[in-house]
Amino acid sequence: MNSSLATPLGNTTAPQEPSPFLLDQWYVGAWSWELKDKPVGRTLLNQPVVLFRSGDGQVAALENRCCHRALPLSDGTLETDGLRCGYHGLLFNAAGNCIEVPGQAKVPSKAKVPAYHVREQDSIVWIWFGSAAHPEPTCEPPIYLVHSSGKYLFEGDVYHYNAPYQLIHDNLLDLSHLGYVHLRTIGGNARIHMNADMNVESNERSVRVVRYMRDSVPPPTYTAAYPFKGNIDRWQEIEFHISHLLIWTGAVDVGSEPIENPDRGGFHMRGFHGVTPETKTTSHYFWSMATNPVSDPEATKDKVVEQTILTFDEDKVVIESQYANMCRFGSRPMVDIHVDAGANRARRIIEQLHNANG
């Protein structure tokens, strides 16, 4: 791992600024369904990028700047052979090479823009942000079979946050807030949330938090989606990785089966959370929610997704308000409590990797 430079593939001559983010990683750049008949421009890890689907259906990512007169290529149009600039019509292929200049036969040899490695897998478009030492991917992106196994129905979307990415990590790694922030949806009894049985494990690159809340009253989202008989035994399993988190929550009827069993039944909500920094103070949050309806599949999935959107809307308000107040009060110290264990470990992992790689 190296965090010094964010390096696309060749075709670049401009000096690059040191990156404040961990590089040599696959980050989420888009959902597959976002890339249809228009290019998508995003700033990812301080890098202006345009993502698009070429005529053969493959996904590509280029620096979002035409090498002629600097118009964002995301203002252009898609054609069978590539992306055409919306100013003077230079046509670029997926490798960033200009293959046509309208009105002249010869294409200048320097008419190129930097290209990035991308992979499309399980409906997720991953982009490699490598260092000067590792511009080529050193591994394949994560597999997420929840999207492709056929066992679940899912939908997703993307939020833009006016807050640093690690505040989103903190929120997702501490689900004790559900009883206070999400009373209308996935909350439930706040005291039970704060006193859940919790186990936290970690290694040099990941954190796993497991929480159990037995004999709980089911929250509104659960009763809307599943025919529980009464109280429930709930689980929350959170996996933190540097570029994304996986959260598996759900419940069974109280005492009906062990919630420690990885093959347990009941109601499932499996969330994918791709957290990609835009800048030091803004972020992209790519989320999907999958569920396992027992009846009326599409209607049940729609209920779960609708409730999920309400939940994430609430989180966005809290996180952005939190960050605005942090800016207002400056470096005033904050006090930790027991529910911060997972979030603190994730922050230590990122800090240690930064320190180890300069």
The per-residue pLDDT for range 227-246, each reduced to its tens digit, is 999 999 999 999 999 999 99
Instruction: Tell me: pLDDT of 188 over 80.
Output: no
Q: Sorting pLDDT into bands at 50, 70 and 90, what band is 2? A: very low
The token pair at 160 is: 């833009």
* Cβ-proximal residues to 151 (8 Å cutoff; 6+ apart), any chain: 292
Distances (CA, A) of 23 to 1, 132, 136, 357: 7, 10, 12, 10
Collapsing DSSP to helix, strand or coil, 322 comes out as helix
* Cβ-proximal residues to 35 (8 Å cutoff; 6+ apart), any chain: 51, 52, 53, 59, 125
Instruction: Name the superfamily (CATH) of residues 145-357.
Output: Naphthalene 1,2-dioxygenase Alpha Subunit; Chain A, domain 1 (3.90.380.10)
What gap in Å lies between CA 314 and CA 183, rounded to an integer? 10
Residue with token string 């922030």: 181
Instruction: Tell me: pLDDT of 5 over 60.
Output: no
Q: Which of 57, 86, 59 is nearest to 73 (CA)?
A: 86
Residues 260-269, mean pLDDT to the nearest whole number: 94
Under CATH, which number does the domain 25-129 receive? 2.102.10.10
Q: Which of 314, 298, 345, 19 is nearest to 154 (CA)?
A: 298
Position 78 scores a pLDDT of 97
Instruction: Tell me: pLDDT of 277 over 80.
Output: yes
Residues 138-146, mean pLDDT to the nearest whole number: 97
pLDDT by residue (tens digit) across 75-101? 999 999 999 999 999 999 999 999 999
What gap in Å lies between CA 249 and CA 65, rounded to an integer? 42
Tell me which of 179 and 45 has the higher pLDDT.
45
Distances (CA, A) of 242 to 112, 162, 165, 276: 32, 20, 11, 9
Domain boundaries, given as residue ranges, for the chain? 25-129, 145-357
Residues 268-274, mean pLDDT to the nearest whole number: 97
Distances (CA, A) of 176 to 181, 193, 212, 325, 327: 9, 5, 11, 21, 24
Instruction: Tell me: pLDDT of 165 over 90.
Output: yes
Give the pairing of strands 267-277 and 59-63. unpaired
Residue with token string 């540097």: 242
Position 15 scores a pLDDT of 39
Residues 278-299, mean pLDDT to the nearest whole number: 95
Element (H, E) at 181: helix 178-181
Position 16 scores a pLDDT of 57
Tell me which of 132 and 241 has the higher pLDDT.
241
Instruction: Tell me: pLDDT of 278 over 60.
Output: yes
Q: How many Cα atoms within 13 Å fall on the side-chain side of residue 337?
A: 6
Residues 327-336, mean pLDDT to the nearest whole number: 92
% of the chain beyond a pLDDT of 90: 76
Lowest-pLDDT choice from 229-238, 247-256, 314-323, 334-343: 334-343
Instruction: Tell me: pLDDT of 221 over 70.
Output: yes
Instruction: Tell me: pLDDT of 11 over 60.
Output: no
Q: Please report, in angstroms and rounded to a whole number, the separation of the first and last CA atoms in the chain.
A: 10
Q: Sorting pLDDT into bands at 50, 70 and 90, what band is 299? A: very high
Give the pairing of strands 197-202 and 207-216. antiparallel
Position 171 scores a pLDDT of 92
Position 18 scores a pLDDT of 79
Position 170 scores a pLDDT of 94
